[in-house]
Structure 1
Amino acid sequence: MRMTSEVIDRRAQTFDSQGQPNKTAPSKENIMTDHTAIARRYIDLWNERTASRRRALLSENWTADASYVDPLMQGGGHDGVDAMIAGVQQRFPEFKFKLIGEPNGYGDHLRFSWGLGPDGVDSPIKGTDFAVLRDGRIKSVTGFLDQVPAGA
């Protein structure tokens, strides 16, 4: 259908302040790559066991006023998020996070799924996180737990 493709193409465009098409806007491929890179850095942060490197990752990739919330915990600012991650690592010392599927997003919004478990097996704990970005850095994360075994 020609009409449908015109609507889809038109919605994908961005416009400058005078309402003209923005020819310098990032391409769809660049936006997806950026979202994928942000999600991978997020997973790297959760897997980083050295406190000083974890703090450096937080400073590089999260805003100073960033927040995280899920059904089990919450943290604010770099100190709160770092303490939360350290707590998860202490509770599950042999587990690592990994991305499940491909992250996706639009603009300053990002969605991705993850698994938490031992290497080499299907993750017993799974979730989906939604992030809001500011200038390419994580501003807030709302996490949902999709699969949690009893006693975890």
Structure 2
Amino acid sequence: MLKSVYVPKLPDFLSLCERNYAALHRLLPPVLAVAEQSFIQFSSQDIYRLTILDVAPFTTKLKIELWQGQQHYFQPSFDVQLYHDARLAEVVRVQQQWRFAAVYPYPNPTMSQPDEKRQINLLLRDWLRLCARAGYRAEPEVLP
């Protein structure tokens, strides 16, 4: 029996990106300027830093990374592109992986999932949900 080929559903993906934009917009620094930062704290040991990397008239690129926390093998880090005119947020880099295809054949040399791009944006959604439930915005001067 042949396995069906993954076909992306554009309305579902755009809906995910819209929800991520709305959730992420609340966490951004007050001023959208290059090198501005915002900190999200989950505990005294786990603090994430949002850094504005690039600002253009209709887009903003930011980096989300574990700034302070327990040193593990896996240090979460991803870049997100915000499209202000469309109100969309899309992950454009995770760890050292850039440029994601909408669909990957499976198997492939990098062992990416057929819906890898969607999965990465779902990761952002899950992180934003964690921020809404357990995190709070912290000012840099109060951080240890």
Q: Give me the TM-score of the superposition, normalised by structure 1.
A: 0.30
The structure in which a higher percent of residues are strand is 1
Q: Give me the TM-score of the superposition, normalised by structure 2.
A: 0.31
Relative contact order: is structure 1 or structure 2 higher (C-alpha 8 Å, sep ≥ 6)? 2
The structure in which a higher percent of residues are helix is 1
